[in-house]
């Protein structure tokens, strides 16, 4: 998704490797910023992620993401030959190109069985602190010029006991699975919207 919310909203969104106080990030006005947004989509903090889906769509909950994961896994379980290739849920959701190569079966590029076309859009941790050099981007080589290494998507679900965290899902070039974790809401991840 590449929707830029109103800048006066006080929410945080960026294109991969966009701006900040560190010398190795792209400076304002660099055409590569918009190229990264067009290729990978925009990265959002959790509050912004909950507000960017268009009318009639919503940010999926943790339960909705797990329904997708369980659905794909159930089909994999019944289709034993997929195991022979080293495929798992992540392999089935990843795009067929654009991922960093990896020697393990089922890693690197995916097979995109369901048209999900997950690309390694990267992420930013502590992005609210980029100007103090505490925040950093990761997940795409060479400021967006390399192959994808990681894709992370926010869920609408807060962590039950750590209110500063929310759940996200992830696929990587070095794994064949779809994993779930909770992270700080100030981190910037991609968004997938689900139709109501």
Condensed to tens digits (0 to 9), the pLDDT of residues 137-162 reads 888 876 666 788 999 999 999 999 99
**Helix %, strand %, coil % of the chain (to 5):** 25, 25, 50
Give the per-residue pLDDT at 65.
Answer: 97
Instruction: Tell me which of 6 and 49 has the higher pLDDT.
Output: 49
Mean pLDDT over all residues of the chain?
Answer: 85
Give the per-residue pLDDT at 84.
Answer: 59
Q: How far is 155 from 21, CA to CA, in rounded Å?
A: 29
Q: HSE (CB half, 13 Å, CA atoms) of 75?
A: 12
Give the per-residue pLDDT at 181.
Answer: 96
CB atoms within 10 A of CB 62: 18
Q: Tell how far CA 109 is from the center of its chain.
A: 15
Give the per-residue pLDDT at 101.
Answer: 92
The answer for residues whose C-beta is within 8 angstroms of residue 176's C-beta and 6 or more apart is: 86, 87, 88, 89, 90, 91, 104, 105, 106, 107
Give the per-residue pLDDT at 10.
Answer: 59
The H-or-E segment that residue 4 falls in is: none
φ, ψ for residue 61, nearest 5 deg:
-80, 170
Give the per-residue pLDDT at 45.
Answer: 92
Give the per-residue pLDDT at 71.
Answer: 93
Sign of CA dihedral 62, 67, 73, 74: positive
Give the per-residue pLDDT at 140.
Answer: 86
Taken as a whole, the chain contains a residue count of 196
Tokens 């903090």, located at residue: 45
CB atoms within 10 A of CB 11: 17
Give the per-residue pLDDT at 80.
Answer: 63
Least confident among 44-58, 97-111, 132-146, 181-195: 132-146
Q: Are strands 194-195 and 57-58 parallel, antiparallel or unpaired?
A: antiparallel
Percentage of the chain modeled with pLDDT above 90:
55
Under the banding of pLDDT at 50, 70 and 90, the label for residue 23 is: low
């Amino acid at each position: 998704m590449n929707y830029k919310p109103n800048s006066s909203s006080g929410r945080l969104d960026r294109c991969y490797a966009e701006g900040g106080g560190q010398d190795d990030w792209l400076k304002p006005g660099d055409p590569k910023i918009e190229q990264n947004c067009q290729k990978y989509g925009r990265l959002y903090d959790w509050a912004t992620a909950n507000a960017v889906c268009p009318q009639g769509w919503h940010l999926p909950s943790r339960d909705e993401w797990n329904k997708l994961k369980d659905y794909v896994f159930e089909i994999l379980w019944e289709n034993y030959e997929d195991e022979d290739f080293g495929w798992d849920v992540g392999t089935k959701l990843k795009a067929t190109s654009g991922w960093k190569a990896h020697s393990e079966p089922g890693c690197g590029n995916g097979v995109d069985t369901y048209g999900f076309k997950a690309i390694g859009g990267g992420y930013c941790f502590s992005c609210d602190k980029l100007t103090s050099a505490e925040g950093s981007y990761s997940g795409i080589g060479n400021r967006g010029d390399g192959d994808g290494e990681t894709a992370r998507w926010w869920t609408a679900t807060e962590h039950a006991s750590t209110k500063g965290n929310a759940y996200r899902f992830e696929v990587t070039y070095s794994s064949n699975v779809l994993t779930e974790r909770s992270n700080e809401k100030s981190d910037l991840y991609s968004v997938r919207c689900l139709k109501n």
